[in-house]
Amino acid sequence: MNDKIGEFISEKNIVLNLGALNQSDAIQKLATVLKKNGYIDDVLAFQNDVLEREKASTTGIGNELAIPHGKSTHVIQTTMMFARNEEGIEWNSLDGSKVKNIFLMAVSPEDKGNEHLKMLATLSGELMDDDFVEAIKKADSKENILKILQKRGNER
């Protein structure tokens, strides 16, 4: 099984200066990019599915990070987006921190045990690694963020 993160994402999956005003706005802005790149078929329906998941329990995992995710019938192909928001966004985070770094996971319910899910599982595990999180937070260009994601994926 292949879990190399870098093989599934490109600079198109990364947004710096997202400019979102709040959680809902952030997810909508990212969903708009996903639609444009052909990963989902309906921005508002997908946004709704992600916000529903968020209601069950926050995905603000602390340390200015959030990992909203939606298993949604509106996902054409499982993927992820990374976004940086300069202003911290209120996210009900586990440690109360406002969110500046977002990994949005879009998952098709059709996917079971495939390499895209494996990629998301690998990424989730990496988020518990303080060095990885610090590197992501410090990275200031799409190229650098992609490099960090690719490097980590390759090591596993």
Partner 1 sequence: MKIVGITACIAGIAHTYMAAANLKKFAKKENCEIKIETQGAMGIENELTQAEIDEADVVIFAVDTTVQNEDRFNEKKILEVGTSKVVKDGKATIQDAIKLAKGE
Q: Which residues bind partner 1 (CB under 8 A)?
A: 53, 56-59, 61-62, 67, 69, 71, 94-95, 105, 107, 111-113, 117-118, 120-122, 124-129
In terms of CB distance, is 124 or 144 closer to partner 1?
124
The Cβ of residue 140 has, within 10 Å, a number of other Cβ atoms equal to 10
The least CB distance from residue 53 to partner 1, in Å, is 6
In terms of CB distance, is 33 or 120 closer to partner 1?
120
The least CB distance from residue 141 to partner 1, in Å, is 25
Q: Are 27 and 68 in contact (CB under 8 A)?
A: yes
Strand ranges (DSSP E) for the chain? 14-15, 60-62, 65-66, 69-71, 79-89, 99-107
Q: Tell how far CA 152 is from the center of its chain.
A: 16
The least CB distance from residue 67 to partner 1, in Å, is 5
Distance of alpha carbon 141 from alpha carbon 126, whole angstroms: 20
The tokens for 74 are 């509106």
In terms of CB distance, is 41 or 111 closer to partner 1?
111
In terms of CB distance, is 141 or 154 closer to partner 1?
154
